[in-house]
């Protein structure tokens, strides 16, 4: 049998592509190497806790997520609007005073950033609000660190705020990602909430997968090679289709393209993988000092912790019995026991020796989280439309990483190939 479309990879890009193809009534099969859909957006259950595959959030302002997902059924729970920065041996709150008036004084008197830095943040936020998202990706780009220095942000503010913020959002502590990415992220933060589904980020993928006929998704089906019209699975089965869509992470796209005798298209620039290690702790009945569970950034410029959050304090299903789940992100790409000890040591200096009683639930080492997003970056609104071959690619390969771009590139690819078929 020849399908209209074979989609390789049931992450968000592959699911969005399958959804578009299914809606246009083309025959398709979605092949996924793992036992579940979602790829990087998945949630594991452990001892009654919900552990996302690395700390991650949904920006409710993502236009493609708004279009694609049913937010109400996801039962989104938002983090408070603001952050806490750990610097100079203290916690400093910077919160949106409209939503958290009780934090007005703390925000106004916080020593994070000079008056000029705050003015520049406001100026940048206004500038970014005045441009559409597609226009942002047409603008000149440069590494964000150069952009921030040119704008005149102080070295101290870059180190205390932008560095851990960018490291959390782009796994990029050097702040080398494109200035377009900075503007996009700032716009998303300003325009919506930072949220998680009540029952874990994996619900996003589950919602998309539930829209597809289950017989059209084959799990534990790793594709090992492709041709211009067929794919071969790990155990030797070959499937045929008029169009093949690769919706795998960038390194796997490159690997699979090597198996085609004639490459479908030239490879994009080499992009180094950026990873993280996320440690999940059960802190029992312990609660953070701030009554409002803000995300915390490490502005100390040292130590293994980059950022941490308390998912169960905004979405109680993340932990059983009123216990507290702590998600700690380190950009040290390792899982050694020393890393756990060093993290406990740093957090004990922040919260007290109670941290030594926290139970480690899981250390998730994610060597490939995202590709680096240094300039030159692709414009995620410009998908290549047509080639001579029957192979198409969606996901971050010719776009950018993020839930927004995975959903957009998947849908657009699905729609375009249905027009082509």
Ligand X SMILES: Cc1cc2nc3c(=O)[nH]c(=O)nc-3n(C[C@H](O)[C@H](O)[C@H](O)COP(=O)(O)OP(=O)(O)OC[C@H]3O[C@@H](n4cnc5c(N)ncnc54)[C@H](O)[C@@H]3O)c2cc1C
Please give the DSSP secondary-structure letter assigned to residue 134: H
Q: Which segment (52-60, 145-153, 235-243, 308-316) binds ligand X by CB under 6 A?
A: 52-60
Q: Please give the distance of CA 149 from its chain centroid, rounded to a whole number.
A: 26
Peptide bond into 413 cis (omega under 30): no
Binder among 50, 57, 94, 95 for ligand X (CB under 6 A)? 57
Applying CB under 6 A, among 3, 54, 175, 177 the residue interacting with ligand X is 54
Collect all residues with Cβ–Cβ distance below 8 Å to 89 and sequence separation of at least 6: none
| x/- track of binding to ligand X for residues 172-211 (CB under 6 A) | ----------------------------------------
Q: Whole-number minimum distance, CB 358 to ligand X, in Å?
A: 21
Q: Count residues near ligand X (CB under 6 A).
A: 33
Report how far residue 323's alpha carbon sits from residue 314's, in angstroms, rounded to the nearest whole number. Answer: 12
**How many other C-beta atoms lie within 10 A of the C-beta of residue 332?**
17
Q: How far is the CB of 398 from ligand X (least distance, A)?
A: 11
Tokens of 45: 């259950």
Contact segment (CB under 6 A) with ligand X among 36-44, 128-136, 141-149, 303-311 equals 36-44
Binding test (CB under 6 A) with ligand X, winner from 396, 398, 408, 413:
396
Which residue, chain included where needed, has tokens 């090679």? Answer: 225
Residue 246: alpha-carbon gap to chain centroid = 20
- Our finding on whether 7 is near ligand X (CB under 6 A) is no
Q: Does 311 bind ligand X (CB under 6 A)?
A: no
Tokens of residue 161, six digits:
């705020």
Name 307's bridge partners: 297, 329
Among 206, 252, 313, 391, binds ligand X (CB under 6 A): 252
Stretch that binds ligand X, among 31-39, 69-77, 85-93, 380-388 (CB under 6 A): 31-39
Q: Is 164 in the site for ligand X (CB under 6 A)?
A: no
Under rule CB under 6 A, residue 41 binds ligand X:
yes
Does 268 bind ligand X (CB under 6 A)? Our answer is no
Report how far residue 147's alpha carbon sits from residue 104's, in angstroms, rounded to the nearest whole number.
29
Sequence-distant contacts of 86-90: CB under 8 A, at least 24 apart: 86/296, 86/297, 86/298, 86/299, 86/300, 86/350, 87/111, 87/112, 87/160, 87/299, 87/300
Is residue 305 within 8 Å of residue 285, measured between CB atoms?
no
Asked if 305 touches ligand X (CB under 6 A), the answer is no
With residue 243 as reference, give the H or E element that holds it.
strand 238-246
Nearer to ligand X, 120 or 181 (CB): 181
Give 194 or 313: the residue with its C-beta nearer to ligand X. 194
- Residue 230 main-chain phi, psi, to 5 deg: -155, 160
Question: Which one, 248 or 312, has the nearer CB to ligand X?
Answer: 248
Q: What are phi and psi of 188, to 5 degrees?
A: -65, -40
Q: Shortest distance, CB of residue 36 to ligand X, whole angstroms?
A: 8
Among 5, 6, 7, 14, binds ligand X (CB under 6 A): 14
Tell the smallest beta-carbon distance from residue 73 to ligand X (Å): 19
Strand, helix or coil for residue 231: strand
Residue 373 contacts ligand X per CB under 6 A: no
**374 binds ligand X, rule: CB under 6 A:** no
- Residue 73 sits in the site that holds ligand X (CB under 6 A): no
Comparison of 158 and 407: residue with beta carbon closer to ligand X: 407
Interatomic CA distance for residues 401 and 380, integer angstroms: 9
Q: Tell me which stretch binds ligand X (CB under 6 A): 11-19, 72-80, 124-132, 302-310.
A: 11-19
Interaction residues for ligand X, span 327-366 (CB under 6 A): 366
Concatenated DSSP letters of 12-64 = HHHHHHHHHHHHTT--EEEE-SSSSSBTTS-EEEETTEEEESSS--EETT-HH
- Does 222 engage in binding with ligand X (CB under 6 A)? yes
Q: Which residues bind ligand X (CB under 6 A)?
A: 8-14, 31-34, 39-41, 54, 56-57, 222-223, 247-249, 252, 276, 366, 369-370, 395-396, 401-403, 406
């Amino acid at each position: 049998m020849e399908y209209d479309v074979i989609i390789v990879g049931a992450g968000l890009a592959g699911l969005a592509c399958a959804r578009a193809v299914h809606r246009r009534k083309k025959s398709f099969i979605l092949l996924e190497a793992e036992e579940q859909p979602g790829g990087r957006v998945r949630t594991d259950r452990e001892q009654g806790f919900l552990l996302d595959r690395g700390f991650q959030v949904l920006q409710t302002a993502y236009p493609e997520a708004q279009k694609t997902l049913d937010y109400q059924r996801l039962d989104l729970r938002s983090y408070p609007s603001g952050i806490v920065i750990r610097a100079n041996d203290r916690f400093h709150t910077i919160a949106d005073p409209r939503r958290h008036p009780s934090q007005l004084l703390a925000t106004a008197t916080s020593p994070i950033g000079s008056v000029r830095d705050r003015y520049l943040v406001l100026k940048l936020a206004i500038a970014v609000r005045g441009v559409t998202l597609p226009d942002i990706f047409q603008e000149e780009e440069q590494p964000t660190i150069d952009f921030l220095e040119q704008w005149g942000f102080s070295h101290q503010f870059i180190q205390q705020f932008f560095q851990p913020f960018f490291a959390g959002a782009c796994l990029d502590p050097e702040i080398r990602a494109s200035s377009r990415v900075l503007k996009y992220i700032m716009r998303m933060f300003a325009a919506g909430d930072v949220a998680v589904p009540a029952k874990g980020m994996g619900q996003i993928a589950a919602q998309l997968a539930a829209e597809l006929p289950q017989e059209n998704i084959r799990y534990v089906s790793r594709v090992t090679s492709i041709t211009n019209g067929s794919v071969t699975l790990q155990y030797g089965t070959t499937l045929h289709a008029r169009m093949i869509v690769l919706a795998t992470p960038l390194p796997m796209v490159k690997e699979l393209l090597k198996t085609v005798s004639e490459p479908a298209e030239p490879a994009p620039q080499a992009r180094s993988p950026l990873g993280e290690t996320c440690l999940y702790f059960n802190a029992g009945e312990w609660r953070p000092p701030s009554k409002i569970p803000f995300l915390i950034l490490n502005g100390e410029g040292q130590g293994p912790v980059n950022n941490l959050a308390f998912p169960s304090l905004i979405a109680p299903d993340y932990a059983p019995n009123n216990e507290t789940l702590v998600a700690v992100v380190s950009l040290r790409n390792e899982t050694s026991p020393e890393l756990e000890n060093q993290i406990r040591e740093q957090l004990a200096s922040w919260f007290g020796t109670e941290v030594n009683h926290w139970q480690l639930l899981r250390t998730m080492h994610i060597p490939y989280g995202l590709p680096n997003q240094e300039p030159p970056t692709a414009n995620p609104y410009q998908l290549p439309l047509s080639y001579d071959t029957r192979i198409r690619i969606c996901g971050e390969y010719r776009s950018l990483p993020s839930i927004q771009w995975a959903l957009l590139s998947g849908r657009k690819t699905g729609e375009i190939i249905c027009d082509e078929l």
